[in-house]
Structure 1
Amino acid sequence: MLTAPGPVPSVTTPGPVVALDIGGTKIAGALVDAAGGILARSRRPTPAREDAETVLGAVEAVLADLAASPLWSAAGAVGIGSAGPVDAVRGTVSPVNVPGWRDFPLVERVRRLTGGRPVSLVGDGVAMTAAEHWLGAARGHDNALCLVVSTGVGGGLVLGGRLHPGPTGNAGHIGHLSVDLAGDPCACGGRGCVERLAAGPHLARHALDGGWRPGPDGDASAAAVARAAGAGHPAALAAFERAARALAAGIAATAHLVEIDVAVVGGGVAGAGEVLFAPLRRALADYATLSFARGLTVVPAATGTDAGLLGAAAAARA
């Protein structure tokens, strides 16, 4: 257990909080101050194919790094943004891409590891949304959808000026809206989900199926497809067009349901820039057709790779 000397500070003190960003490829941690400044950080690869305790061991290693900071004893709470589904009521996580964690009691285990500090849990899409509303491209917007488009597709909502995580911390999970009723099966058990068409691995696979081939370095990632699309390769362009239309359909459905005025898109696939955003904005005009959705704008996320940590910190202070 990573206990701190003396009593654990109150959550309401202006000291730092502990933030954890847990995904299928990495587990990151930081001490974050009240202004969003990162005071200390650590990172470990996620042993995603290992058993539950091995994955927890990577979390413990990150926390041990942070506990070595002289600021650790001032940290009053812990926020976790995790790949999902999560259950914030029960404090459990079942990340699709970490099969060893099924209904894993993450909140209780982290509470023990951090000397009894209070722990808040949200999904990674909700965490990114909290970060963007606090410090990023959704700042000043009362009604927003924020998306993470990477190895999966997640999201979160701001409604009426407040983060809307929903009862279990999963509200806004746009990646598992079905936009192709006859589409391919998704890992979630559904069919034709936004994630199944727009996530990086599926985007790259579609480009390969269309005739695109990696260069001499063998890089078959979505980033490599983006470079090829920027150079005009037809199959790469078609893969991004398909992903953009899936995202546009999901964004428009959300706008028609809850009346958002901005969609903020982040994650690795969004790093393609206008290769993604140009067809996304064009497709949105085809789907967001009701009068109250026509003014919807789509913008890149602003908090970058620290979005998960900043959002977890915001959850800890909520």
Structure 2
Amino acid sequence: MTVAIDIGGTKIAGALVHPDGTMTATTRRATPRGADADGVMAAVAAVVADLSESPLWASAVRCGIGSAGPVDASRGTVSPVNIGAWRDFPVQDRISAELAEHGADLPTVLAGDGVAMTAAEHWLGAARGHANALCMVVSTGVGGGLILNNQLHPGPTGNAGHIGHISVAFDGEPCVCGGRGCVESIASGTAIARWARAQGWTPSDRPGSAGDATAAGVAAAAEAGDPIALAAFDRAGRALAAAIAATATLVETDIAVIGGGVAAAGDTLFTPIRSHLAAYATLSFVKELQVVPATLGTHAGLIGAAAAATMLLPSPSSSS
């Protein structure tokens, strides 16, 4: 069994994950708003306490922690954008201490949410069977991770595969990361909605938008044929296609799996990605590159935390 903890801006979830990926004793707490660092950690501790009450608790051999980022896996710290109280917070050590408090002195692994999603999709999702894959989360931000030679490749600090901050627009607008023309500044849900509004789109007078000024509203308008909304998704799809092709050319991935809230737009997003990909993935070894939706949805965080721990930690039988 693997203890899995998934930490995000709205919820903190936990589960005991079986070797086949099924989950037992799932539990969750709301991520505290306005709390200090220890107040947020108290919610994590409550999740660990819930899990420890399971009769299967004693069979756990490892723990995987997936967290919103930025993360620094080399130091076991996180500074999630949506958890303001945590800056360089030593979450790995703190969770290890909680596990020990409940009689489970387990090896732990910390992974960013993009890396966790990648591990999940390679284990049980759309990247299963692919030795080399890029997996992405396109939501309020854009993140990702890499599978190379059937191994999770998080890099020294756990941030390898962070495709959202590849620059695809030489003279593009400044990005929150300090760069310019990053994928995230064009293709995140926030960026899609911001660009559409700047071009004159408003949800109140456009068909299909249902009064929603977010990327979901833009997607609904695009499905109804709104030209500005369609252009917003075409622009996002082009940025994603350029970054996907660049990554595939660099490390020879043969599939890109895309999840996250923006991916829920379906063909509204995937059709322009695939169309533009043909103009960027032109070399013989990337021409067959596939772009597909993720399949694990809301379960990816917990399954991914467990998968990352399984992939990155030695199995108990191999340690001495």
Gaps of 5+ in 2: 312-320
- Given the superposition, is the C-alpha separation of residues 69 and 213 from structure 1 closer, same or farther in structure 2, using an over 3 Å criterion? farther
Alignment of 1:47-62 (within 5 A): 47=32, 50-62=35-47
Taking the aligned partners of 2:228 and 2:219, their CA distance within structure 1 comes to 11
Residues 174-189 of structure 1: pairs in structure 2 closer than 5 A: 174-189=163-178
Q: Which moved more, 1:103-112 or 1:203-212?
A: 203-212
Shift, 1:42, TM fit: 2.0
Segment of structure 1 superposing worse, 22-31 or 105-114: 22-31
Q: CA 1:61/1:219 → structure 2, altered by over 3 Å: closer, same or farther? A: farther
Q: Which moved more, 1:184-193 or 1:304-313?
A: 184-193
TM-superposition CA deviations, 1:249-288 (whole Å, max 9, x none): 1101101111111101111110110000000100111111
**Selected match of 1:306 from 299, 307, 310:** 299
Identity %: 66
C-alpha deviation, 1:86, in angstroms:
1.6
1:153 and 1:195 in contact (8 A); partners too: yes
Name the SS of the counterpart of 1:277 in structure 2: helix
Partner Cα separation in structure 2 for residue 293 and residue 254 of structure 1 = 10
Distance 1:49 1:146, change over 3 A: farther
Matched, 1:199 2:192: no
Match of 1:19 in 2: 4
Q: Helix, strand or coil for the counterpart of 1:147?
A: strand
Matches within 5 A, 1:212-291: 212-215=201-204, 218-291=211-284
User: Which amino acid is the alignment partner of residue 151 of structure 1?
Assistant: T
Report the secondary structure of 1:291's partner residue.
coil
Q: How far 1:149 sits from its partner (Å)?
A: 0.6
Q: 2:192–2:236: 8 Å Cα contact kept in structure 1?
A: yes
Following superposition, the deviation at residue 50 of structure 1 comes to 4.3
Distance 1:261 1:75, change over 3 A: same
Amino acid corresponding to residue 57 of structure 2 in structure 1: W
Decide whether aligned partners of structure 1 residues 144 and 49 sit closer, same or farther in structure 2, where only a CA change above 3 A counts.
farther
User: How far apart are 1:209 and its partner, in Å?
Assistant: 1.9
Q: Distance in 1 between matches of 2:166 and 2:221?
A: 28
More displaced stretch, 285-294 vs 210-219: 210-219
SS at 2:247 equivalent = helix
Alpha-carbon RMSD across the aligned residues, in angstroms, is: 1.8
Q: Which residue of 1 aligns with 2:17?
A: 32
Aligned twin of 1:7: none
TM superposition shift of 1:166: 1.2
SS, match of residue 79 in structure 1: strand
Contact 2:126 / 2:292 at 8 angstroms: preserved in 1? yes
Give the counterpart letter for 2:47 in structure 1. Answer: V
Distance 1:26 1:233 in 2: 34
Structure 1 pair 198–49 and aligned structure 2 pair: CA distance change class (3 A): farther
Asked whether the 8 Å contact 1:29–1:66 carries over to 2, the reply is yes
Aligned counterparts of 1:280 and 1:233: Cα–Cα separation in 2: 18
Shift in Å, 1:239: 1.3
Question: Which one is further off, 232-241 or 103-112?
Answer: 232-241
Give the partner amino acid of 2:197. Answer: L
For 2:76, the aligned partner's letter is G
Contact 1:21–1:27 (CA<8 Å) still a contact in 2? yes
Instruction: Provide the TM-score with structure 2 as the length reference.
Output: 0.89
Cα distance in 2 for residues equivalent to 1:48 and 1:173: 27
| Map of 2:317 onto structure 1 | none
- What is the number of residues matched between the two proteins? 303
Does the CA contact (< 8 Å) of 2:211 and 2:217 recur in 1?
Answer: no
Q: What displacement does 1:81 show? A: 1.3
Contact 2:210 2:217 in 1 (8 A): no
Tell me the residue number matched to 2:316: none
How far, CA to CA, are the matches of 1:213 and 1:47 in structure 2? 33
Q: Secondary structure at the match of 1:121?
A: strand
**For 1:272 and 1:308, how far apart are their aligned partners in 2?**
20
Task: Letter of the 1:138 partner, please give it.
Answer: A
Q: Find the aligned partners of 1:48 and 1:200 in 2 and give their Cα distance.
A: 23
Match of 2:146 among 142, 154, 157: 157
- Relative distance call for 1:210 and 1:42 in structure 2 (3 A) is farther
Q: What residue identity is the alignment partner of 2:155?
A: G
Give, in angstroms, the shift of residue 48 of structure 1. Answer: 6.1
Q: After alignment, is 154-163 or 54-63 more displaced?
A: 54-63
Specify which of 104, 107, 122 is matched with residue 118 of structure 1: 107
- Change beyond 3 A, Cα 1:246–1:25: farther
Aligned residue for 1:192, secondary structure, equals: coil
Partners of 2:260 and 2:41 lie apart in 1 by: 24
